[in-house]
Structure 1
C-alpha cells in the first residue's frame, strides 16, 4: 500500500495555502457560496481524490475478504491413450486370490479345483482412459498471522488521510474562487471610481467650453480636458479587459456560464471581524498524521509475515465413476504455513515502511513550523491592512478637500486647468487605494482564518 503521494500532496498544499486567502462563512454572500459548491463538484483534482478514497475502501474490503471461504467449482474431461491397468503378474495374483476367496465362501477345500460355472471378475483398471471429473473445492483462511488485520487498519488510515487531503484541496479551490470573486468586486468598484471621475471631467468640460466662449480660457484647456478623457477611456478599457479575464477564470474554476457570471455584482464590503486566539488542527496536518499511522501498520503487516498462518482445505467429487482406485471422493483438512526465512524480503519491506513513517513525521514537523510562521505573518498583515485603511481614508478626505479648493480657485482664475486635473487625479488615486485597502483587508483576514485552521465556507 503506497501512500507516498499522499504526503507529497499534503506538503505542497501547506506551502501553497500559506499565501492564500479566504473569507469567513458569515461574510460570504449566497452567490459566492453557490459558485464554490459548483467548483467543488466540477474540479477534476477533487474528483480524482474521491476515486482514490474509494480505492482505499476497496482495499479494506479486500483485506476483510481474506477470511471469507473461497469455494471453487471445477469440471474437466481427459482422454488417455489407454486404460491404466495392473501388470500381468499382479492380475494373475488378484485372479488366484479371487478364486481362493470364492472357494472358501462356498465351502470347497483349499486344494480342490475351481468350479467352471462360477464367473470370475477381471481386475479393475487403476484408471479408465476416459476421465470426466466434476468437483467443488474449499479454501478458508482461519488466521492470517495478523497480516490481513494490519492491512485493513492501514487502508482505513489511508482513506482518512485521503479524505483530509480532499478537504485541504477543497479549501485551496475555495480560496481561488473567493480571490477571483473579490478581484472582480475590486474591478467593479474601480469602474465606479472611474465613473465618478468621468462625471467630474464632464463638469469641467462644460465649464471650460463656456469659459472659452466668454474668452476666459484658451483652447489648450479644452485639449487638456480631452487628453484626460482619453486617458480615462484607456483605464476603462483596461478594467473591462480585467473583468473579462476574471470572468474567464471563474468560468474555468466553477463551470458557471459566462453569461451568468457577467450578471454578478460582487461588493468589497469591509470585514467586521475581531481576531480570534483559537486554532484548529489544519487538514494538511491531519492528512500527514493519518498517512503516518497507515505506514506504521504497514510495518506491522510486513513483520507479521513470520507469524504462522492457519487454513482449512476441502474437496468433494460429484462423479465417482471416473475416479481412479487411488482418488478419494472427498477430503477435508487443516494446515499451517510458517515462513521461517524469506531471504530478508519482509525485513527490508518493513524497514522501508518504517523510513516512510519517519519521513511523514519530518513532514508533520515542517508543516507545523510553516503554519506557525504563516499565522504570525497573517496577523502582521492584518494589522498593516487595518492601519493602511485608516491612512487611505484620511488621504481621500484631503484629496476631496484639495479638489474642491483648486476647483474654486480655477473658477476664480486663481489656478490652472492642470492644477484641477492633478487634484482630480489625486481624488481618483485615493479612491482606488480605498478599494484596494478593502480588498487587502479581506485578504489579510482570510489569510489569518485559514492559517489558524478555522476556515469555513
Structure 2
C-alpha cells in the first residue's frame, strides 16, 4: 500500500509539469559553482560579446557627439606669381578721386589744376602675392533631422541585445560545465561500484581457494573468478581514461589546474522539486527583441536623411596682414541643408533595414516554438527520470536479495560460481543504473530550467 501511494505521488508530480514550470532547488556543489565562475571569466565567447557591447557604447557616444561643436585650426602659406591689383582704369579712377578729395579739403576749386608737391597715397593691392594665413573654424550641428537621436536609440538597443547574448552564452557555458562535472561524478560512481565488485571478487576468490584446499570446489571455479577479475581490470582502465578525458575538458573550460581537478570528488545527488515557479523570458528571446528594435530605429535614422538639418558656421582669422581687401576677419552664420533627392539611396537603405527587422521577427517566432518544444521535452524527461529512479531502486533491492540468496546457496553447494558472478554483476549494474538515473534527472532539470529562463548558478 505504501509503494502504491509513493508511485501515485510521483505520477501526480510529473503530471503537474504539463501545466506549470518546476522550481528546482539547485544543489550545486561549492566546487562546481567555483568552476562555473572560472569558466565564465575564462570564456572567449563571453569576452567577445562584452567587446561588442563596448563598441555599441562607443556608437552611442558618436551619436551624441554630433551635437558637439567641431573646432579646427588651419594654417597655410601661398605664393602667387604676382600681387593681385586693380586694373589700370580703376587705379586711375581711384587716384583722381583722391585728388578731388584733397582739393576739396584744401578749398581749391574743382576745375583748378592739382597742386604740385602734394603726395598721393598709392592704390593698395587687392592681395599680396605672399599669403600666410592662420584661422579657426567652428561647425556646430543644431538639428540633425532626428538622425542622431535615432542612431543613439538604435545603438542602445544594440548594446542591450549584445548583453543578452552574453548572458545566453554564459548559460551555455554553465550548462556545459555542469554536464561535464556530472559526467565526472558518474565516472566516480562507476569507480565506487567497481571497487565494491572488486571487494566481492576478492572475498569470493578467498572462499574458492579454501574450498579447493578441502576438495569442495574445482580449479575451474577459481579460473572463472580470475576471468571476472580481468574483466573488472578492463573496466578500471576505462574508468581512468574517462576520468582523464573529463578532467582535460574541465581544464579547457575553466582554466583550473589539472592537479586541483584531480582532487575533486563530485557526487550525483538528485534535484528536488519543492515548489512551482513561473516561466521567464529567455535571454535569446530578449536579444532578438532588442535587435529588432535596433533595426527599426536604424530604418528611421536612414529615413530622416530627408529632414532638413540646421547648423552653425563660424570663422576667425588670426593673421590680418595677408588678408585681401575683400576677406573678412571673422564671420558667423546659420545654414540649412535639405537633402531633397539622393538617388533613392536612403529609401533603399531604410527598406533593407526593415527587411532585416522582419528576419528578426521570424527568428523570434521560431525561437518561441523551439523553446516551447524544449520545455515539453525536458518535462517528459524529468517525469521519466523520476519513474526510472523508483524502478531502479526496486531493482537494486531485488539484485541485493538475489545475490545474498545465491551466495548462501553457493556456500552450501546449491549454486554454481557462475550464478554467483551473474548475481554480483546484476548488483553492479543496478547500482550504476541508479547513478545514471540521477545523471539523467539532473540533465532534465537543468535543461528545463534553461528552457524556462530560470537557470541560476
For the criterion TM > 0.5, the same-fold answer is yes
CA–CA separation in structure 2 for the residues paired with 1:223 and 1:122: 131
Q: Which residue of 1 aligns with 2:18?
A: none
* Deviation at residue 380 of structure 1 after TM alignment: 0.7
Q: Deviations over 1:146-191 (max 9, x none)?
A: 0000000000000001000110000000000010011111111110
1:222-237 to structure 2, matched below 5 A, reads 222-237=222-237
Q: Which residue of 2 aligns with 1:366?
A: 366
* Deviation at residue 25 of structure 1 after TM alignment: 6.8
* Deviation at residue 111 of structure 1 after TM alignment: 2.0
CA–CA separation in structure 1 for the residues paired with 2:43 and 2:299: 35
CA–CA separation in structure 1 for the residues paired with 2:106 and 2:456: 100
Q: Which residue of 1 aligns with 2:303?
A: 303
Structure 2 gaps of 5+ residues are 1-22
1:7-156 to structure 2, matched below 5 A, reads 26-156=26-156
Moved beyond 3 Å, runs of 4+? 23-26
Q: Which residue of 1 aligns with 2:292?
A: 292
CA–CA separation in structure 2 for the residues paired with 1:312 and 1:396: 86
Moved more, 195-204 or 264-273: 264-273
Q: Which residue of 2 aligns with 1:203?
A: 203
CA–CA separation in structure 1 for the residues paired with 2:291 and 2:34: 32
CA–CA separation in structure 2 for the residues paired with 1:244 and 1:408: 39
CA–CA separation in structure 1 for the residues paired with 2:335 and 2:370: 54
Q: Deviations over 1:392-431 (max 9, x none)?
A: 1111111111111111111111111111111111111111
* Deviation at residue 24 of structure 1 after TM alignment: 5.9
2:24 touches 2:273 (CA, 8 Å); kept in 1? Answer: no
Q: Which residue of 2 aligns with 1:279?
A: 279
CA–CA separation in structure 1 for the residues paired with 2:384 and 2:291: 38
TM-score normalised by L of structure 2: 0.93
* Deviation at residue 259 of structure 1 after TM alignment: 0.7
- SS of match in other structure, 1:76: strand
CA–CA separation in structure 2 for the residues paired with 1:300 and 1:447: 39
- SS of match in other structure, 1:336: strand
Structure 1 gaps of 5+ residues are 1-22
Q: Which residue of 1 aligns with 2:320?
A: 320
Q: Deviations over 1:334-385 (max 9, x none)?
A: 1111111111111111111111111111111111111111111111110000
2:70 touches 2:140 (CA, 8 Å); kept in 1? Answer: yes
- SS of match in other structure, 2:325: coil
Q: Deviations over 1:303-358 (max 9, x none)?
A: 11111110010101011000011111111111111111111111111111111111
CA–CA separation in structure 2 for the residues paired with 1:109 and 1:24: 115
Moved more, 196-205 or 302-311: 302-311
Q: Deviations over 1:79-121 (max 9, x none)?
A: 1122111222222222122111111122111122222332111
CA–CA separation in structure 1 for the residues paired with 2:212 and 2:162: 74
2:26 touches 2:271 (CA, 8 Å); kept in 1? Answer: no
CA–CA separation in structure 2 for the residues paired with 1:250 and 1:117: 106
CA–CA separation in structure 1 for the residues paired with 2:33 and 2:24: 11
Q: Which residue of 2 aligns with 1:16?
A: none
- SS of match in other structure, 2:391: helix
1:138 touches 1:313 (CA, 8 Å); kept in 2? Answer: yes
CA–CA separation in structure 2 for the residues paired with 1:364 and 1:207: 67
Q: CA RMSD in A?
A: 1.2
CA–CA separation in structure 1 for the residues paired with 2:152 and 2:348: 21
Q: Which residue of 2 aligns with 1:191?
A: 191
Q: Deviations over 1:2-28 (max 9, x none)?
A: xxxxxxxxxxxxxxxxxxxxx967411
Moved more, 446-455 or 133-142: 446-455
CA–CA separation in structure 2 for the residues paired with 1:258 and 1:180: 14
- How many equivalent residue pairs? 435
CA–CA separation in structure 2 for the residues paired with 1:42 and 1:390: 40
CA–CA separation in structure 2 for the residues paired with 1:433 and 1:26: 22
1:157 touches 1:294 (CA, 8 Å); kept in 2? Answer: yes
CA–CA separation in structure 1 for the residues paired with 2:42 and 2:265: 23
1:302 touches 1:349 (CA, 8 Å); kept in 2? Answer: yes
Q: Which residue of 1 aligns with 2:157?
A: 157
CA–CA separation in structure 2 for the residues paired with 1:253 and 1:63: 38
CA–CA separation in structure 1 for the residues paired with 2:107 and 2:391: 131
1:146 touches 1:301 (CA, 8 Å); kept in 2? Answer: yes
Change (3 A) 1:24 1:177: farther
* Deviation at residue 273 of structure 1 after TM alignment: 1.8
- SS of match in other structure, 1:27: coil
* Deviation at residue 276 of structure 1 after TM alignment: 2.5
CA–CA separation in structure 2 for the residues paired with 1:235 and 1:245: 15
* Deviation at residue 434 of structure 1 after TM alignment: 0.7
Question: Is it true that 1:413 corresponds to 2:408 in the alignment?
Answer: no
1:24 touches 1:456 (CA, 8 Å); kept in 2? Answer: no
1:98 touches 1:120 (CA, 8 Å); kept in 2? Answer: yes
